[in-house]
Copies of this chain bind each other. A is one copy, B any other.
């Protein structure tokens, strides 16, 4: 890992909490998280009181905070389940956000060392990305690596990286059909690499383990596509996949980079994929429309901020996908509402929201 100087106060770790007893989660993460400020968002549907061990610098937000800040907006309906974390992105004041699902614990690398997800995500975000030409030796900025022969020198300075997508050991992020078909499959391959996902290439961004530059692209991480029967298991959701494709389009348009690979988290087992199958098919069907849309959407030169970009994408969603399924029209409206909300919160004085 390249050496980066992280100012700890430039990072918020945002955890959306779907399981009230956070004891084991927090203890497992203590070596990594104790240096940073944590934003804990309690799923508004979660009734039990949170159990959080002592010794962390954190702020907990609950249903009443969400309602106070978000009430005038349709977004409050969208902030349950995994999507409650978006509220944390909204109220954070930091440059970088790292977000990890609450059913993950730290992974170990090939040498058995605990993976510090925060440092790796921040390393990914603070070293350049290279979206305009593929480097076969992966991340050229990593210690011991470089640009290979034939890589144009004019592209070697790279661009700012805005999104870092981590991976998963043990239970990988498969959809319900795949998980149901291969219930015993576990991911044990630690691939020691980070790469820039090239410009104009679409990808399924998983929300399980990500880091991003909130100041650059924060408003593009938003709750928008909510399935009618979305549940509290990852394979029952596509909200993060939608958000990730929106974000990739924004990054491509603004000439920002997206990386994928390290860091890994260890994902614990839970849930029964076969029970989820019926719910998931809706998401599976939608992806057949969603992917070609995001592969072809193009933004105008007038879009120069993430907010601008989201509004343009929302308009295209409304026009091109809206007629296909009401879920898309709702997503388009939610995107517009979220950008408005983001602007309102940004113009308020910090103490009123955080």
Contacts and interface: CB of A to CB of B under 8 A. Distances in A.
B134 A202 contact: yes
Contact of A149 (B175, B190, B193): B175
A185 to B, nearest CB: 7
A205 B150 CA distance: 8
B133 A202 contact: yes
Contacts of A134: 197, 201-204, 260
B291 A137 contact: no
A167 B154 CA distance: 24
A311 interface: no
A148 interface: yes
B137 A185 contact: no
A215 to B, nearest CB: 25
Contact of A204 (B151, B153, B186, B241): B151
A191 to B, nearest CB: 4
A146 interface: yes
B138 A204 contact: no
Nearest to A190: B192
A182 interface: yes
Contact of A284 (B153, B189, B201, B241): B153
Contacts of A151: 175, 204, 287
B288 A191 contact: no
Contact of A136 (B133, B148, B206): B206
Contacts of A206: 136, 148-150
A158 interface: no
A234 B149 contact: yes
Given A144-B188, A145-B187, A165 B136 contact: yes
A152 interface: yes
Nearest to A153: B284
A328 interface: no
A172 interface: yes
A238 interface: yes
Interface string A123-166: 00000000001111110000011111111111100000000010
A150 B202 CA distance: 11
A149 B195 CA distance: 20
A174 interface: yes
Given A136-B205, A198-B198, 19 more contacts: A133-B203, A133-B204, A134-B260, A136-B165, A137-B187, A145-B187, A148-B173, A148-B174, A149-B173, A149-B206, A149-B234, A149-B241, A150-B175, A150-B244, A151-B287, A152-B288, A152-B291, A153-B287, A201-B201
12 contacts: A133-B291, A134-B203, A135-B204, A136-B165, A136-B205, A148-B204, A149-B173, A149-B234, A152-B288, A153-B284, A154-B288, A201-B201
